[in-house]
């Protein structure tokens, strides 16, 4: 048994009853349930449709995300999330580089690394090297003035945690950012790389070992085990090539507004919805969402 979920950007109201009923009939679906009026709906199907990806492409043109997954076990007990361009809307290293006057060069390397064109560790070392001498006070300035949160993130965490879920932030970025982001959004734990500093300035080096693709897989295994869970119990979300390992190991791996190489290898793709899409995928209705107090869209 499979569940088909259709969703769009909150407020877009791209889902009409006519469109939904048309697909329901074409795929022989049943048990139609509106999760949010005009924004998210689901129904059951017995087998995977042969034209799934053609219909997916058609829906993308309408601003609608289409996900088909097994019904069994879709509600997860743990969230494992990437940070840059996933829980926040920026790449932290690119923002630091802009302050250091090397923004375009670093941003180009970041884009290639996230699309799998460069070795992650090598690319990270090269970019951090370009930040050598940057005053560490600028890190706090960047966090306060340049970082904004991805819509829906706080609600995602609060809703899953209200059901006993555990949330871990695992980033190829830096602890200088994961610490305040995790604290602000309510993550239970976080892991990231360390920017080495001496006398109030960055040395241009990264603390070892570097947290990259394999370290994210290890984090999934270790953190889930400490919670008495299996990888199958985990909902992972990310956007870059260094997230692929954890996305493929998790029970449900979600490519969120992801790079092409990630979308090619991950079947659960959210390109129009925000982070609350991860709740709809688990069968939550909008009325079940938990909105935490004192959480804004910016630090």
Alpha carbon of residue 179 to chain centroid: 17
Contacts of residue 28, defined as CB under 8 A and 6 or more positions apart, other chains included, come to 45, 46
Write out the catalytic residue numbers. 82, 84
Q: Report the largest interatomic distance among the alpha carbons of the chain, rounded to a whole angstrom.
A: 67
Which helix (H) or strand (E) covers residue 256, if one does?
strand 252-256
Q: Give the 3-state DSSP-derived string for 145-164, with helices as H, strands as E and coil as C.
A: HHCCECCCHHHHHHHHHHCC
The span from the first CA to the last CA of the chain, in angstroms, equals: 42
Domains of the chain (ranges; CATH) run 1-72 (3.30.70.260), 75-299 (3.40.50.1000)
For residues 241 and 82, is the Cβ–Cβ distance under 8 A? Answer: no
Of 72, 65, 66, 75, the C-alpha closest to 9 is: 65
Of 95, 70, 238, 81, the C-alpha closest to 166 is: 81
One pLDDT digit (tens) per residue for the chain, 299 residues:
999 999 999 999 999 999 999 999 999 999 999 999 999 999 999 999 999 999 999 999 999 999 999 999 999 999 999 999 999 999 999 999 998 899 999 999 999 999 899 999 999 999 999 999 999 999 999 999 999 999 999 999 999 999 999 999 999 999 999 999 999 999 999 999 999 999 999 999 999 999 999 999 999 999 999 999 999 999 999 999 999 999 999 999 999 999 999 999 999 999 999 999 999 999 999 999 999 875 544 44
CA distance 86 to 274: 10
What pTM value is reported for the model? Answer: 0.94
């Amino acid at each position: 048994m499979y569940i088909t979920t259709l969703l769009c950007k909150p407020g877009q109201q791209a889902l009409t009853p006519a469109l939904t009923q048309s697909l329901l009939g074409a795929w022989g679906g049943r048990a139609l349930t509106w999760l949010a009026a005009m924004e998210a709906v689901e129904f059951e199907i017995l087998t995977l449709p042969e034209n799934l990806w053609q219909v997916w492409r058609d829906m993308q043109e309408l601003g609608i995300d289409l996900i088909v997954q097994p019904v069994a076990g879709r509600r997860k007990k743990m969230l494992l999330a990437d940070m840059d361009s996933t829980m926040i809307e920026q790449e932290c290293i690119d923002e630091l580089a802009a302050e250091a006057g090397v923004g375009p060069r670093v941003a180009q390397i970041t884009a290639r690394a996230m699309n799998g064109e460069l070795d992650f560790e090598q690319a990270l070392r090269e970019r951090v090297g370009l930040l050598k001498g940057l005053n560490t006070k600028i890190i706090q300035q960047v966090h306060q003035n340049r970082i904004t949160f991805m819509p829906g993130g706080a609600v995602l965490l609060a809703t899953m945690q209200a059901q006993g879920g555990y949330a871990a932030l695992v980033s190829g970025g830096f602890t200088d950012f994961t610490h305040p982001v995790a604290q602000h959004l309510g993550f239970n734990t976080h892991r990231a790389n360390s920017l080495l500093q001496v006398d109030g300035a960055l040395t241009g080096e990264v603390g070892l070992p570097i947290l990259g693709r394999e370290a994210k897989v290890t984090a999934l295994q270790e953190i889930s085990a400490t919670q008495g869970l299996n990888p199958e119990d985990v909902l992972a979300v990310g956007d870059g090539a260094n997230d692929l390992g954890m996305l493929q190991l998790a029970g449900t791996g979600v490519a969120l507004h992801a790079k092409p190489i990630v979308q090619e290898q991950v079947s659960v793709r959210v390109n129009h919805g925000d982070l609350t899409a991860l709740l709809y995928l688990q069968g939550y209705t909008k009325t079940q969402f938990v909105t935490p107090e004192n959480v804004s869209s910016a630090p």
